[in-house]
Structure 1
């Protein structure tokens, strides 16, 4: 898993917004980087001191680890090609645009020499990782209810994020993070009920700017344990401060976190927890770099914080939420059926 220089050979497919975090992380880890995209790869490569590949095949051939940073509808194609070549794969969330696509990717990984790593980076953000450790240690007792919020400025009008066939919209693109978190904290999900609203927000009179899109979604999860989770997302007007937070309620206490709260992570009613701020600035401390370190450890045989099946289930929960939006009723999720589908492909 090294080039002649002794550095990991990493190829990244896609040079959009999320690529900056991956590029910075791999540079911290001393990788030999190659980039490919349908447009802009050469300029991006020159900017960061990487090479540009002319085709996906050329990138895969020259890499040991392939990062897939493209829209969800393309993940299956690129992941299957890389896994078939025996390459390790880190794939941005969601693992696939549909459950069937995610299952295909996970099933291919099960017979490949490569390791598949779904990029659920929120598991590596300090407040979430600390809360997970404290919940696992029994600090709040048995988890009874969780609540997650994720809000920020909406993508530009006309962007591919609004094409449900390509991205799954706000639920599949944004809330998949917190759907994964709800399952991480409260366990297996058995039922999903969701609502979504769309609209626009006006701009100042005479500004000449088009109205900005506004999307909200609220997803209620029932867990096998009997716990419930409420996951809310908001794509809001330009300039809206990006905010995340959670409340974890147990039989003995509750853990709370918000990026708007200077204390960051608090424990009620037994006292205030230690601050766990999201790292800013230094890529060496980035959650994205932390997840890439975990991938490298997994390639060497260590257990990873995120497994391929986690990627499959998060897509299944998001897809159930989209179905619930359209049917206006609850939708069941069966993890045993999903696991069986992965193993029988």
Structure 2
């Protein structure tokens, strides 16, 4: 009988999650039925959306999240033993699944496509949900054109760092907003951003006026709050705003920000929120295009890896504090060949 280790959402988060809000329990898994498979987690994801969704979760339930797992046993021909798969299984070490999408799941389960020798961990990042979030969220909603100015907040994270590079591939001028000079140096030197602003030390309004004297055409919003209000109020007529997240508000009970409706109305801005599963029917289009860009040297990525299933909570809170560069993941064990 296989026993799984599972993180349970034990206490509602109050501000930044605290030790004791999640607890690890042991769960005995039932033998496989026809159509089911048993997977063992190898990489687990920690993402900002998990904090945003937490207030809607019931206590006593497994905590949410995606993982890359290796298939250990299978009675489902679509999920062969030895293959790596993505699943929205939550924070757990082992899972029995039938491969079908559950009503509360945002993403479907699938065997990883051929990553051409790259790590399966990328299925949680540049070749997974964050990569597709950047790909579809920028190209479908903002529709950037060559010569336009694109601003990206949360620019050093998994999605933001990817968005900026795609915008550069489309011939745009890219300005990133991040939380340290070191991150901004990485974005400019390694990822080819044109300019970056440190939201902790710079006056964003003044810096944008200096760096984008002709205004802003597209804004990819990962943070919300006053940072976003400042950017939106400096946009050009018919600018486009892709609202991906609001991490500035996830741990705060009250967030103050200037109103943006006058700018939205008078400048005739398009502001649209999205969840990436809107494009589930084109999922592998995004993965294949991002893989092509990586292979051609046009797209770079970075992972911040925490080792050990028992360290997931710390990886999660570090990500919420902005410690990570690129995608934050947890590696459970050595890869099985």
Same fold (TM over 0.5): no
Calculate the TM-score normalised by the size of structure 1: 0.35
Tell which has more relative contact order, 1 or 2 (C-alpha 8 A, sep 6+).
Answer: 1
Calculate the TM-score normalised by the size of structure 2: 0.35
Structure with the larger helix share = 1
